[in-house]
Amino acid sequence: MIRVYKNFEKVPTILNSDNRKEAFDKNIQSKDYIDKSNLYKVTSVQNELAKIYHFKCGYCEKDIKDEDIHIEHYRPKSRYYWLAYSWDNLLFSCGQCNRPKGKKFLTKKCSNLYAKEPFDDIHTLGFKYDKEESPMIINPEKDDVLDDIVFDKNAKISSHNERVQYTIDKACNLNRNGLVENRIKLFNALKRRVVKHIYNKDIIGLESEIENFIEECTIKSEYYAFRYFILKHVTLFFENRTIQKVVLKVIDKNIQTI
Ligand SMILES: [Zn+2]
């Protein structure tokens, strides 16, 4: 759930089309989401979101290739039927994160009802609603929580921030088996290479190994939050003093790029 940057002013043209307006009006009349064609679900919107989300799920950061990809409604369309085509309500996530989230949308304050907002205003209503409702689930387009995310040595994710913890446990199940396995696999691959360099007393090789890992640690990388956490908490993941010393030295040299 790393922060991504969406241009809220640059609404995909199709979301302002006449048939979206008609579907919006029908939903309003019925006070329910009744659009059987799911008109928010179109390739142009999906492609735009994929770019914004670096081709990763907005919650678990899994690469979207081979994934069941969903255009996800931050505020569920069943309850917030007037926000079904709102650009700021359409997020990008994998099916495994979206399914448990489903219709959940816990708020700390009120829960807004439709207040006759016109179709022209729907794409940025979320900002006003966020202040009024104070939602529990993290919105990757608005919340920067990278430094609130914690991993243990077994690649299990948690947080002291109650909203992040709610998102992990109650909304998206970010400690599900396959996902934790993928993260641990990523770390074990690094560890294997690092240990091999130590075994061969190849400190230059070890340094370049860590440099490569740092280079690969960008917001575009799969599981960036986990990679970032490893680099920030080297002593938790590597007990060997030599490894710790070398890794910390290389990180120090490359601190700007992490
Ligand atoms: Zn996901």
Least confident of 58-62, 162-166, 170-174, 251-255: 251-255
150 with 32, same domain: the answer is yes
Residue 6 resides in a domain? no
Q: What's the pTM value of the predicted model, to 2 decimals?
A: 0.94
185 with 137, same domain: the answer is no
Among 171, 192, 220, the domain-final residue is: 171
Domain that holds residue 192: 177-257
Residue 154 resides in a domain? yes
- 17 DSSP assignment: S
151 with 183, same domain: the answer is no
Q: What distance in Å separates the CA atoms of residue 166 and residue 192, rounded to the nearest whole number?
A: 34
158 with 194, same domain: the answer is no
State pLDDT tens for residues 67-81.
Answer: 788 999 999 999 999
Residue 56 resides in a domain? yes
165 with 185, same domain: the answer is no
pLDDT of residue 194: 92
Count how many domains the chain has: 2
Centre of ligand 1 to C-alpha 128, Å, is: 27
163 with 42, same domain: the answer is yes
Centre of ligand 1 to C-alpha 64, Å, is: 9
204 with 124, same domain: the answer is no
Q: What distance in Å separates the CA atoms of residue 84 and residue 72, rounded to the nearest whole number?
A: 10
217 with 164, same domain: the answer is no
Centre of ligand 1 to C-alpha 176, Å, is: 10
Residue 8 resides in a domain? no
Q: What distance in Å separates the CA atoms of residue 87 and residue 48, rounded to the nearest whole number?
A: 11
Q: What distance in Å separates the CA atoms of residue 202 and residue 55, rounded to the nearest whole number?
A: 36
Output b/e per residue, 135-171; b: 16+ Cβ within 10 A. Answer: bbbbbbbbbebbebbbbeeebebbbebebbbbbbeeb
Centre of ligand 1 to C-alpha 94, Å, is: 4
- Nearest Cα neighbor of 183 from 149, 160, 206 is 149
Q: Are 212 and 228 in contact (CB under 8 A)?
A: no
Average pLDDT over residues 88-97: 96
Q: What integer best gives the mean pLDDT of the chain?
A: 94
Say yes or no to pLDDT of 99 above 70: yes
State pLDDT tens for residues 31-50.
Answer: 999 998 999 999 999 999 99
205 with 152, same domain: the answer is no
pLDDT of residue 251: 87
Say yes or no to pLDDT of 246 above 90: no
State pLDDT tens for residues 139-148.
Answer: 999 999 999 9
Q: Are 73 and 232 in contact (CB under 8 A)?
A: no
Among 127, 155, 171, the domain-final residue is: 171
163 with 251, same domain: the answer is no
155 with 223, same domain: the answer is no
State pLDDT tens for residues 182-224.
Answer: 999 999 999 999 999 989 989 999 999 999 999 999 999 999 9
Among 171, 187, 216, the domain-final residue is: 171
Centre of ligand 1 to C-alpha 46, Å, is: 15
Centre of ligand 1 to C-alpha 179, Å, is: 9
151 with 100, same domain: the answer is yes
